[in-house]
Structure 1
Amino acid sequence: MGIFKTRKNKKFTYTPRHFKNEGEGSPFEMKHKFDDFRKTVGPTGGIKSKFENAFGELKESPDRSANRRILIIIAILVLIFLFIIEFDLSIFLPNT
């Protein structure tokens, strides 16, 4: 009988009606449109190679003003955080 046998899943050979296989790959593949141009997407090695790829991609980006804007926003948020926790910034100033 079939008490100890596991059921096999049914397999269907479904192909979409409006799909033309012109070498573009599978219609079910989820892929971002910029994945071909980025180094950080896909299999990578350790943490060192991840950081190297991320910094390399950051250096190659043509929009330097956006990077500068992000750094300014981060600096402002850090200063606001230090103000909220009442951090004494006078330790960085020379005593007179």
Structure 2
Amino acid sequence: MGIFKTRKNKKFSYTPRYFDDKGEGNPFEIKHKFDDYRKTVGGNTSLKTKFINALDDLKNNQDQEANRRILIIVAILVFIFLFIIDFDLSIFFK
């Protein structure tokens, strides 16, 4: 019965039905379709490297409309946060 022994997982020789051996990549790998075009997706790198890659990706982005939209949304959320904490906005105006 072995109280202190753990059971080993069963191994099966499963091959997917529609996967041929000549196919590219692993059929069990779950991958986003835009991962090949991003630098930020990948191995475990340092926080500084991730931040630099994210800024580089933002600078080389061709869709400036999306960048402007994100900045507007962030500004609105900051003003809502300042309103909630009752920050005195009169220091910005004369």
The answer to whether the Cα contact below 8 Å between 1:39 and 1:57 also exists between their aligned partners in 2 is: yes
Give the structure 2 partner of residue 87 of structure 1.
87
Matched, 1:76 2:70: no
SS at match of 1:73: helix
SS at match of 1:40: coil
Give the structure 2 partner of residue 31 of structure 1.
31
Aligned-pair CA distance for 1:16: 1.4
Aligned-pair CA distance for 1:48: 0.8
The number of residues matched between the two structures is 93
Deviations 1:7-65 (A, max 9, x none): 44332211112212224122111111111111000114211101000001111111011
Matched, 1:41 2:41: yes
SS at match of 1:70: helix
Distance change in 2, residues 1:89/1:16 (3 Å): same
* CA distance in 2: counterparts of 1:35 and 1:46, whole angstroms: 19
**Which runs of no fewer than 5 residues in structure 2 stay unpaired?**
none
Deviations 1:58-78 (A, max 9, x none): 111110111111111111121
Percent of matched pairs sharing the same residue: 68
Distance change in 2, residues 1:75/1:15 (3 Å): same
The answer to whether the Cα contact below 8 Å between 1:19 and 1:27 also exists between their aligned partners in 2 is: yes
Give the structure 2 partner of residue 58 of structure 1.
58
**Which runs of no fewer than 5 residues in structure 1 stay unpaired?**
none
SS at match of 1:58: helix
2:78 alignment partner AA: V
TM-score (norm 1): 0.80
